[in-house]
Structure 1
Amino acid sequence: MLSLISLPYEPILFGIKVNAHIVLEYLAFFVGFQYYLYLRKRTTDTISTNNRLSIIIGAVFGALFFSRLIAFLENPPLHYSQSIISFLNNKTIMGGLFGGLLGVELVKKVIGEKQSSGDLFTLPIILGIAIGRLGCFLAGTKEFTYGKKTTFYFGMDLGDGLSRHPIALYEIIFLIGLFFLITQLQKSTQPLENGSYFKFFMISYFSFRFMMEFLKPNTYFLFGLSSIQYLCLLCLLYYYKSVGEAIKYAYKKLYLL
Structure 2
Amino acid sequence: MDFPVTFQIFGKTILAHPVFETVGIFIGMRYYFYLKRKSKEKLPFNISAAVLIGATAGALIGSKIIGNLENPYLLFENFSFKRFWTNNTIVGGLAFGLIGVELAKKIVSHKESTGDLIVFPLILAMIIGRIGCFLTGIHEETYGIPTDFIFGMHLGDEYLRHPVALYEIAFLIPLWIILKQIQNKKIFESGFIFQLFMLSYFSFRLMLDFIKPRIEIIGNLGTIQLVCIAVIFYYLFKMKKIKSVTSL
**TM-score, length of structure 1 as denominator length:** 0.89
Residue aligning to 1:255: none
What is the RMSD of the two structures over their aligned residues, measured on CA atoms?
1.7
C-alpha distance in 1 between matches for 2:187 and 2:50: 27
Cα pair 2:32 2:118 within 8 Å, conserved: yes
Q: Deviations over 1:205-254 (max 9, x none)?
A: 000000001101213332221111110110012112245579xxxxxxxx
Cα pair 1:46 1:115 within 8 Å, conserved: no
Residue aligning to 1:228: 224
Write out aligned runs for 1:208-227 (5 A).
208-227=204-223
Cα pair 1:156 1:164 within 8 Å, conserved: yes
Residue aligning to 1:171: 168
1:192 aligns with 2:188: yes
Q: Deviations over 1:143-196 (max 9, x none)?
A: 1111110001110001112100000000011011111111121222x4321000
Q: What runs of 5+ residues in structure 2 fail to find an aligned partner?
A: 243-248
**TM-score, length of structure 2 as denominator length:** 0.92
Cα pair 1:47 1:115 within 8 Å, conserved: no
Cα 1:53/1:89, change in 2 over 3 Å: same
1:42 aligns with 2:64: no
Cα 1:15/1:68, change in 2 over 3 Å: closer
C-alpha distance in 2 between matches for 1:35 and 1:200: 20
C-alpha distance in 1 between matches for 2:157 and 2:217: 24
Amino acid aligned to 2:49: L
Cα pair 1:146 1:165 within 8 Å, conserved: yes
Q: Which moved more, 1:71-80 or 1:237-246?
A: 237-246
Amino acid aligned to 1:6: D
Residue aligning to 1:253: none
Look up the SS of the partner of 2:110 in the other structure: coil
Residue aligning to 1:252: none
Amino acid aligned to 2:142: T
Match of residue 64, structure 1, among 50, 60, 63: 60
Cα pair 1:203 1:243 within 8 Å, conserved: no
C-alpha distance in 2 between matches for 1:72 and 1:23: 21
Match of residue 159, structure 1, among 156, 160, 174: 156
* Cα drift, residue 99 of structure 1: 0.3
C-alpha distance in 2 between matches for 1:237 and 1:31: 31
Look up the SS of the partner of 1:150 in the other structure: coil
What is the aligned length?
241
Q: Deviations over 1:30-77 (max 9, x none)?
A: 001000011111111242232111101001111111111111211111
Match of residue 87, structure 2, among 80, 85, 90: 90
* Cα drift, residue 85 of structure 1: 1.5
C-alpha distance in 1 between matches for 2:240 and 2:210: 25
* Cα drift, residue 17 of structure 1: 2.8
Q: What runs of 5+ residues in structure 1 fail to find an aligned partner?
A: 247-257
Residue aligning to 2:123: 126
Match of residue 180, structure 2, among 169, 173, 183: 183
C-alpha distance in 1 between matches for 2:11 and 2:65: 36
Q: Deviations over 1:86-141 (max 9, x none)?
A: 11111111000010000000010010112210001111111111111111111100
Cα 1:24/1:116, change in 2 over 3 Å: same
1:29 aligns with 2:25: yes
1:241 aligns with 2:229: no
